[in-house]
Amino acid sequence: MEKRHFLIDCDTGTDDAIAIFATLGNQSDTVEVVGISSVNGNVQEHYTSENNLRLSEYLGYSHPVSRGASEPLFPRGNYYNDTHGQKGLFGIELPACKKIINFQIRMHLSSFYIYPKKI
């Protein structure tokens, strides 16, 4: 069976953190996560980006992590903190990244060139 490549694009709050954990833990000869990008949504984008970096390193993965949209297409008002807490993980503090990780701003586009017709 041909390997399937996935780019996870999410607004990492508690729900997305669980999905990322499950997805990364189930990679195999047929499934590979090629990167994670973050967007504004459950919480502000700078928190979702940090959540993706911390979660990836905490779980021992070194795939690319990129920053996505900092503002939603359709603003919903001040909804932060209600469901996912201020930083998105409802008070769970993952360890700070041990190394400096540079966000790969253009990872979205490069992934499509590296894996044409496969993402």
Residue numbers annotated as active site: 11
Report CA-CA distances (Å) from 2 to 8, 116, 118: 19, 14, 10
